[in-house]
Amino acid sequence: MATLATFFKRSDAIGVQAERAGIARAESDPFRLRPLPNGDIYLYCKRIDNSRLVRQADPASGAKCWSAVGAASIVFLIGASIIAPIVGSVLQGYQLESLRQERQSLVDKKRELDVREAALLSPERLNDLARAQNLTSPAPNQIIHLDNPSIDGAFAKNEVPAAPVR
């Protein structure tokens, strides 16, 4: 429900009062702003000094506080126990993916090293190196086959003399 101050326009109220009093209405200025609603009401704030008051200790408030702290910690522990496995699985997923990427990079590096090894051990390259260092193939009389039974183990015999038993 509207109050009388906002229900009637102030200029209408002044005009009605002027007509009742028999005063002729003056021509109003078209550029004059209308007054704000409730403009005649003044509010002020009274300072209240509570510095002399002493708060009384409530013995039941300590128990309420500790029960609230206990309830909050139980809720926190339940929430943490629900969230911990989810967070752990996400972290394990990240670790698994990083290990997969590391494995793939190692496989790529191994392939690259295998290609380089094959290029270094190719017969054409070995022949070029042999020619560069003036290496030649051995003569047929310089070749000794170790599995020949006529040699009788004279070459490359790796026997250690037995130590006397005490």
Q: What tens digit of pLDDT does each residue of 20-58 get?
A: 665 555 567 778 887 888 888 888 889 999 889 998 888
What's the mean pLDDT when you consider all of the chain?
81
User: Which of the listed ranges 19-28, 37-46, 107-116, 153-162 does the model predict with the highest average pLDDT?
Assistant: 107-116
Do 9 and 36 meet the contact criterion of CB atoms below 8 Å apart?
Answer: no
Q: Between 92 and 11, whose confidence is greater? A: 92
Q: Give this prediction's pTM.
A: 0.41
Average pLDDT over residues 101-123: 96
Q: Residue 8: how many CA atoms within 13 Å on its side-chain side?
A: 10
Phi-psi region of 161 (alpha: psi -120 to 50; beta: other; left: phi over 0): beta
Output the six-digit token pair for 15: 């005009």
Judge whether residue 164 has pLDDT over 60. Answer: yes
Judge whether residue 130 has pLDDT over 60. Answer: yes
Q: Per mean pLDDT, which range of 49-53, 94-98, 141-145 is the poorest?
A: 141-145
